[in-house]
Structure 1
Amino acid sequence: MGNRAPNVGLAGLLSAANWTQGQLAAQVNRIGTEAGHSVGCTKFNVNKWVGGTIPRKHIRPLILEAFARKLARPVTHEEAGWPPPVAESGVPTLGEGDTVEGLVSTGRADMDPERRKFLATSLYSAALPIPMFRELVDREESNAAGRTTRIGAGEVATVRTMTERIADILDELGGAHARPMAAAFLVNTVAPYLRADAPESVKSSMLAAASDLVYLTGWMAMYERDHGLGQRYYLRALKLAGAANDHVTYCRTLRGMALQAANLKHASKALELADSAAEAAPKAGPRLHAFLAGQQAHGAALVGDRRQAFARLRETEAALSKADNRRDAIGGYDLAAYFFHVSSVNYALGDIPTSVKAMQDSNRVRPPVERQGRAHANGLLAQRQLEMGHLEAACGTWGKFLDDYEQLSSSRADEHFEIMERRLRSYQTHRAARELRERAVELARRKAAA
């Protein structure tokens, strides 16, 4: 052990990042928590690694991701002074060249409850390079040997219809029910369609329809806090949209990636992705324009740019006023979404009262069928009301959250439930808080027994 050579690669990365060993340990712990790991890394662990000890296999990606985020570029095992990783059978990677094959690998793993647990711990990469739309058009592999199936407009309509139905189930019952259905449909039906023979117009339409479904599946994974998996689906959606020359889904997917970065508190990345989405859609219709500008407003608020944030909100409102009354099932943008963005912007800028008012406005105009969205909004609203010291109002909002939560199967809703229970522990002498917590305990018991 005394003959182990120091790891000059890792030491060089520490120097490039301008980090102490303790700072690297803190970042590794943060990323581990993000991916569902409890790492417990300390500066003493880092000191051993710099001294030549190779970190455990599941820790190495966390270290590489920490440096990638700090240095704003991918960092390899070789650069960190470690042997190259051995590919694990059945584990999809972000770099797979064949999008259809990669989609099948990801979807099959997502269908399997045991493999899904593994995927849930996969890392979100803040330094992932995003392919530009023009780079993707006509680049995707579209030919496969041995085709025996021919598809037409009917199969495209099937994919579109199933995507809308899955979106409806997501709204009503939650992502834990909807996402496995989407993954199974992607693997068993959509992937064979993408490999089938068809006229060029049908091929393009099928790629676009598949991109829409993969985007929705990625959004569900992101919403369920499976961030590495969500990012993997999003990247597939970008590639399919590029191959289909589908600007709308490409931009919508980038916007979803911006929301994911915002949720993970990567403020600069969130704004960068939101701006990229808007720049890629110069001829967007008013509803898509509003959809993208709203996310730009949130991104600007997260980096503290008050002037740009409110300018983007005004742009969002103006664009939405020009849109028709139709609301798309997938990635639609309506008045409820606009007020949600107003709330998010004001909260990020420290104006909690205005944020609360806007979230109440969002709920007021939200369609009744959007149970999952309403539960999320009420979960946030109650937390902000409590921050203002309005315990009675927060308890009333959490009561409405529980009305929806009883019917939902959703990791995000579970998170709101856990936050509610934790926040209420300090108020057990208050009647409304005590009654709400008693209701929550009984509801948890019923859901566990179901």
Structure 2
Amino acid sequence: MSTREPNRHLERLYQQTGWTLRQFVQAVNRIGTERGTPLKYREPSAHQWCRGHLPKETARPLILEALARKLGRPVTHAEAGFPAPAGSSHATPSAVEGLLDLGRGDMDPSRRSVLGIGLFSVALTVPNWPDVVGRMEAVQGGGTPRIGMPEVDMVIAMTERISELDDQFGGRHARPMAAAFLVNTVAPYLRADAPESVRKAMMSAASDLCYLTGYMAVDECAHGLAQQYYLKALELAGAAEDYLTYCTTLRGMSVQAVDLGHGREAQRLADAAAAASPQAGPRMRAFLAGQQAHAYAQIGGSNTALMYLREAEVAMDRAESRGKAFGSYDPAALNYHISQVRYELGDLPGSIKAMQESDKVRYGVYRRARVRHRAALAERQLEIGHLEAACATWNLALDDYPLVQSGRADQRMQKMRRLIRPHLKNHAARELHERARLVIPS
């Protein structure tokens, strides 16, 4: 009878973590739940992996991510003693080819790969501004018509329309539309002949669309996919020398990280966004400082968080005095950050007050945000024992919920059903539960 060789590579990584076998499998199971595919591995599984039994192909990226999060650095298949993924190659695709591969897999939901689509990676390598600025493969002419600023303006306008649909209805239906537009229209434009000024403007417009598509992937909890879109946005923004979209994308990556509870990564990305935008105007400065405040609050840096929050408030006052800017960082977004900072620092009543103020001043078109943030407000009202106030707020969220197609909104509503279940002796809670049962998918 042949004996299986122990996986010395995986065993060495496991020893470096300081984990018990139980902690190892718990970390892997948590990532599976985060991705939307709950796992139930127990200690014998981890023992078998180290003894040389090869984990399922779908589990290997989760094991690598668990190790990477614990060790604070990337962990490759080879380093863990796993075979390379099927179809992998050492060749790095060009920017446009990579964009085509990403978009084609996303524009048709039936073709999306399950493996890794929702897997957020803390070990992702994020390029710094000097590493991407002005860099992109030379345009390949031949067969593609020459483009000018009208094509750039069309891409910008389409991105704005898709963003409006996302704000009002959620990203579930809008993202495949954005992916198809990237593949069928924007990618060919990036390869077209054009004057240098037009070419840079098109790359900037494409970067903004990639950022939006990544944000919509976050909305559907496809976190690994979102990170890939964000990386493309950074690459294109650097090639276009568009520091504004570069900084906005880094901030978006920080928002994704902090919402998933990865405070250190969120802080690193928020600081990188601020550092890459030294000459930002007051509204952009408020936009960046508010996110820095939230990230530092999550990791317990209360003094730094409050410093950045004050900076965001001062910058917002300056920005508002210069006139309203619909569609950018506004008082509703600032109050949301104030609420998040106060909540992270343990000030629950202050968090509720700021969230109520955010709801009061939010523009009506932001329906998806209204559903999610009202649900969060209700959860905090319930947390301090205000059951009937929470039920009233959840009912407001339910008013808009049927019109929104959003994975994050779905999660909030499912959580509401769980939280309200122990309180069904209360009349308001019972009525809310009955209404939710008819509206929320089981």
TM-score range, shorter chain: over 0.9
Aligned ranges 1:32-43 → 2 under 5 Å: 32-43=32-43
Instruction: Report the CA distance between 1:45 and its aligned residue.
Output: 0.5
Q: Secondary structure at the match of 1:76?
A: coil
Which segment is superposed worse, 250-259 or 172-181?
Answer: 172-181
**Aligned equivalent of 2:429:** 433
Q: How does 1:233-244 map to 2 (within 5 A)?
A: 233-244=229-240
Check conservation: 2:169, 2:368, Cα contact below 8 A: yes
TM-score (norm 1): 0.94
Matched-pair contact (CA < 8 Å) for 1:343–1:354: yes
- Map of 1:59 onto structure 2: 59
1:317-356: CA deviation from partner (whole Å, max 9, x where unpaired): 1111121334353xx2000000000000011111110000
Please tell me whether residue 201 in structure 1 is matched to residue 197 in structure 2. yes
1:221 match: 217
Distance in 2 (alpha carbons) for counterparts of 1:351 and 1:431 = 29
Specify whether residues 120 and 3 from structure 1 end up closer, same or farther in structure 2 by C-alpha distance, changes over 3 A only. closer
Q: Which residue of 2 aligns with 1:160?
A: 156
Q: Deviation of residue 94 (structure 1)?
A: 12
Q: CA RMSD in A?
A: 1.7
1:247 corresponds, among 243, 262, 284, to 243
CA deviation after TM superposition for structure 1 residue 443, in Å: 2.2
The match for 1:100 is 96
Aligned equivalents of 2:312, 2:188: Cα separation in 1: 39
CA distance in 2, matches of 1:288, 1:97: 33
Structure 1 residues without counterparts, runs of 5 or longer: none
User: Separation in 2 of the partners of 1:409 and 1:119?
Assistant: 23
State the distance in 2 between where 1:328 and 1:178 align. 21
State the partner residue of 1:422: 418
User: Once the two structures are superposed, what CA deviation does each residue of 1:401-443 show, in whole Å capped at 9, x if it has no partner?
Assistant: 0011021111111111111111111111111111111111222
1:25 equivalenced with 2:21 (yes/no): no
Q: Is the 8 Å Cα contact of residues 218 and 229 (structure 1) preserved in structure 2?
A: yes
CA shift digits 1:171-216 (9 cap, x unpaired): 1111112212111111111111111110000000000011011101
Indicate conservation of the 8 Å contact 2:290/2:334, yes or no.
yes
Give the drift of 1:103. 1.3
SS at match of 1:281: coil
Between the two proteins, the alignment pairs up a number of residues equal to: 440
Specify whether residues 242 and 263 from structure 1 end up closer, same or farther in structure 2 by C-alpha distance, changes over 3 A only. Answer: same
TM-score, normalisation: structure 2: 0.96
Corresponding residue to 2:325 among 327, 331, 345: 327
CA distance in structure 1 between the aligned counterparts of 2:407 and 2:112, rounded to whole angstroms: 13
Q: Is the 8 A contact 2:30 2:38 kept in 1?
A: no
**Separation (CA, whole Å) in 2 of partners of 1:120 and 1:48:** 23
In the aligned structure 2, how far is the partner of 1:119 from the partner of 1:82?
Answer: 16
State the 1:136 CA deviation: 0.4
Q: 1:186 aligns with which of 182, 185, 190?
A: 182
Aligned match of 1:396 in 388, 392, 396? 392
Q: Say if 2:190 and 2:202, in contact at 8 Å, map to a contact too.
A: yes
SS at match of 1:118: coil
- Unpaired stretches in structure 2, ≥5 consecutive residues: none
Letter in 1 for 2:345: L
Match of 2:207 in 1: 211
Could you tell me which residue of structure 1 aligns to residue 109 of structure 2? Answer: 113
Give the fraction of aligned pairs with identical amino acids, expressed as a percent.
52
3-state DSSP of counterpart to 1:406: helix
Q: What is the Cα deviation at residue 146 of structure 1?
A: 2.8
**What SS does the corresponding residue of 1:52 show, helix, strand or coil?**
coil
2:11 aligned partner: 11
Matched residue, 1:84? 84
Tell me by how many angstroms 1:162 deviates.
0.7
Matched residue SS, 2:41: coil
Distance 1:317 1:147 in 2: 52
Distance 1:38 1:411 in 2: 16
The letter for the 2-side match of 1:45 is S
The reply on whether 1:336 has 2:326 as its aligned counterpart is: no
Distance 2:348 2:382 in 1: 10
CA–CA distance in structure 2, aligned partners of residues 177 and 81 of structure 1? 40
